Chain A
Amino acid sequence: MFTQILRRIATGFVVLWVTLTVVFLGLDFAPGDELDVLLSAEAAASLTPDEMAAKRAELGLDRAFPIKYGIWLKKVVTGDLGYSTSEDNDIAEVLKVTVGNTAMLIFSALFFGIIIGVFFGILAAIKENTWVDYVIGSIPIFIAGIPGFILSLGLIYTVSVKMNLLPSGYMHSLTDESFLDLVKHMILPVSVLSLVLAAQLVRYTRASMLDVLSSEFIIAAKAKGISNRRVTYNHAFKNALLPVISVVGLHLPEIIAGAVITETVFTWPGMGSLAVRAAGGRDVPMVMGIVIVVAVTVIISNLITDIAYTLADPRVRLG
C-alpha cells in the first residue's frame, strides 16, 4: 500500500512537470515578451532595434530555448513566479494571500457540500419511492438548472438586499475584523458552492446506495440479525461511499472553476477575482501563476482521492 502511494506521488510530479512545460510553451510562443510588458508603448517606440536587442540580452531573453526553459523552471520550482504588472506586486506574494482566501471558501464548501449531499443521498435511498425521495430527488435538478451566478445574485437580492441579514460581498466589514464577521461574509458564497456540489452528490450517493442496498451481502447482513442501522451504515454506506469518493475527486476542478465566478459575484478577494482581474489586465505571468496553482491543486486533490479510495476499499489496497 505504501509503495502504491509513493508511485502515485511520483506520477503526480510527472504530471506537474508536463503541466509546467505546457505553461512555459504557452508563454514562450505567445507574441511579445517580458520586455514588451515592462516597457510602455511610447518607451518601446523611442528605442532603436539595437537598443531593444541590448535590453533583451540584459534580461536574458535572447538565450536559446532550452536555457530559457531551464532558468524558468528553476525559478518556478523555487517559488519565483515573476512580477505582476496588474497587481504591482510579486506574483508569489499575491498568490499566497489569495490562495488562502480561496482555500477557505473551497474547503468550507467541500465540507458542507459532502455532508449535505451524502446525508440526503442516503436518506433518499432509504426512503426510495416515497415523497421524501421525490422531494430530495427534484431539488438537485432545480439547483443544477440554475447557473451559479444567478443563484448567487438571487441570494444577494433576497438575503442581503431585501432581508438585510448578511453582507453581500467582501471578506470583512470596514470596522470589524472579527472571526464572526468573517463567518457572516462566508455564509452566502459557501452556500452557493456547497449547494451546487451537494446537488450532484445527492444523486450519486442515492444511486450508489440503492445499488449497494440491492446486493446480496445486504440480505446476508440482515440474515445475521444485526440492526437496520448497522446494515445501512456499516454495510451499505461503506460500500456506497467508494463511487462518491471518485465523484468528489473528479468534481474538484469544477468546484475550483465555480469558485472563480462565485468569488467575483461576492467580491471575495480570492484567486477567482484575481484571475478575472489578471485576464482583464492582460497580465500573462499572473494568469500563468494561477494556472500553476490550479494545476498543483488538481494534482494534489487527485492524489488525495486516490489515497482515500485506497483506504476505503481493501480490494484496491492489496490488488
Chain B
Amino acid sequence: MSKPLLEVSDLQVEFNSRQGRVTAVRGLTYTINEGQSMALVGESGSGKSVSALAILGLLPKKTAKITAGSIKFRGEELIGAPEKSMRKLRGGSIAMIFQDPLSSLNPVLTISEQIVEQIKAHEKIEGKKAQERAIELLDMVGIPSARERVKQYPHQLSGGMRQRAMIAMALSARPSLLLADEPTTALDVTIQAQILELLTNIQKDLGMSLLLITHDLGVVAGFTEKLTVMYAGKAVEQGATAEVLGNPNHPYTLGLLRSIPRLDRPRTSELRPIQGVAPDMSKVSVGCAFQPRCEYAQSKCASESPLFSTISKDRYAACWYPQDHALQDESLSK
C-alpha cells in the first residue's frame, strides 16, 4: 500500500459576500495516495474548485477563510503554513491546471516565457537550458513543432494546444500532485478525450498523483481510481470509482447516474432528473442538505445531519439510509 500524499480532513471554507456569509465548503474529507488518481465530482457551486484553491493557499485573502479542518501534504499541515514554503509547493510539488486555458494563460507573454518563468522559480537553471526544457515539455505533451510553438503567444494556439501547453507548464517542476480543475470543460468533445488520455498517461508515466475536478461523471469513469462526490460543499460519497458508479450508496450519486443518458439502456427509457434545485449556500441547513430533493428521505433526515462514515470496506457515504442499488454499469466503469 502506498503512502498517503494529500490528506484533507473536514475542510470548511467560508466566504464573506455582500449577501452575508456563504459556507462554500462544509466538510470535505479525502486522501490521495502517492501515484493515485482521484476525481472530485459535483455540480457547479458545490465547492470543488474552492477546495482545490484552498490546498494551494490561493483563496482570495480578503473574502475567503478556512474556518476548520486540515490539509496535510506529505504529513505537513498546509493551512497557516508560511507563505515562503507555500510558494515552494505551488508549481513545485503541487501543480495546478485550470478550466479555461485561454483565460489562465497570460495573453501578453509567450508560451516560452511562461514555462521558463515557472522552471526558474523552482530551480537554479540557465535561461538557455530552461528554454530547452520548455521545448522538451511541449514535445512530451504532444505539441507538434514545439520549437516554433514555444515562441508563440497563447492566442496563436488552438484550445487543445493551449491546454497541452498548460499541462506542460504544470509538469515543468516535476510535481508529485497535479490538481486539474475541470481541465476539459472549455474544450471540444473530441479534444476532451485526447487531453484526458494525455493526463492519465503522464500521471502513470511520472508516478504522479492526480486530483481531477469535474462535473462530468463520464469523464471520471475510465480515468480515475478513486471518486469523491460532493454535494452542497460536503463529501457525500467516496470509494473506488468503479464501485461507486456500479453501486452508489448515496441517493445523490444514484440520482446523478440515473439522469445521464446511457448507450446500454433502451432508447425509450426515460431519464430521471433529480427534482428540485441545489440549496442556497448562504443558508445554514439543518439535517441532510440533500434531504429536500431525496426520494428516500425520512423524518430523521430533516433534523439530523448524517456523518461521513464507513458503509462497507473502503466505501464512505454521508447518508442515514444508504442505498444498495447495483446498476448494470459494465459499460460505464470498464
Contact A238–B108 (Cβ < 8 Å): yes
Task: For the complex, give the distance between the alpha carbons of A220 and B102 in Å.
Answer: 11
Interface residue? A234 (CB, 8 A): yes
Contact A239–B107 (Cβ < 8 Å): yes
Contact A234–B121 (Cβ < 8 Å): no
Interface residue? B43 (CB, 8 A): no
Contact A217–B117 (Cβ < 8 Å): no
Name the contact of B91 in the complex, choosing from A129, A223, A234 (C-beta under 8 A): A223
Name A263-317 residues within 8 Å CB distance of B: 312-315
Contact B100–A219 (Cβ < 8 Å): no
Name the contact of A217 in the complex, choosing from B105, B110, B121 (C-beta under 8 A): B105
Give the nearest-CB partner of B93 in chain A: A225
Contact B90–A222 (Cβ < 8 Å): yes
Residues of B within 8 A of A226 (CB): 87, 91, 117-118, 121
Task: For the complex, give the distance between the alpha carbons of A126 and B92 in Å.
Answer: 26
Name the contact of A227 in the complex, choosing from B56, B87, B153 (C-beta under 8 A): B87
A15 to chain B, nearest CB (A): 29
Complex interface bits, A149-183 against B, C-beta within 8 A gives 1, otherwise 0: 00000000000000000000000000000000000
**Which one of A222, A224, A239, A314 has the highest number of Cβ atoms from chain B below 10 Å of its Cβ?**
A224
Give the nearest-CB partner of B86 in chain A: A225
Residues of A within 8 A of B106 (CB): 217, 221, 235, 238-239
Interface residue? A42 (CB, 8 A): no
Task: For the complex, give the distance between the alpha carbons of A224 and B156 in Å.
Answer: 22
Known: A235-B109, A314-B107, A315-B155. A225 touches B88 (CB 8 A): yes
Task: For the complex, give the distance between the alpha carbons of A71 and B58 in Å.
Answer: 69
Known: A129-B62, A225-B92, A318-B156. A230 touches B117 (CB 8 A): yes
Known: A235-B109, A239-B108. A225 touches B156 (CB 8 A): no
Interface residue? A215 (CB, 8 A): yes
Say which size band chain B's interface belongs to: 20 to 34
Complex interface bits, B149-166 against A, C-beta within 8 A gives 1, otherwise 0: 000010110000000001
Interface residue? A216 (CB, 8 A): yes
Contact A216–B87 (Cβ < 8 Å): no
Interface residue? B98 (CB, 8 A): yes
**Which one of A217, A225, A239 has the highest number of Cβ atoms from chain B below 10 Å of its Cβ?**
A225
Interface residue? B220 (CB, 8 A): no
Task: For the complex, give the distance between the alpha carbons of A215 and B62 in Å.
Answer: 16
Could you list some 17 contacts between A and B, CB below 8 A? A215-B103, A217-B103, A217-B105, A217-B106, A219-B104, A221-B106, A222-B58, A223-B58, A224-B90, A224-B91, A225-B87, A225-B89, A225-B90, A225-B121, A238-B108, A314-B108, A314-B110
Residue numbers of A with Cβ under 8 A of B are 128-129, 215-217, 219-227, 230, 234-235, 238-239, 242, 312-315, 318-319
Ranked nearest first, the 7 interchain pairs of A and B with the lowest CB-CB distance are A225-B91, A225-B90, A224-B91, A220-B104, A314-B153, A224-B118, A216-B103
11 additional contacts (CB under 8 A) given A217-B105, A222-B56, A225-B121? A219-B104, A224-B118, A225-B90, A227-B87, A235-B106, A238-B106, A239-B106, A313-B107, A314-B153, A314-B155, A315-B153
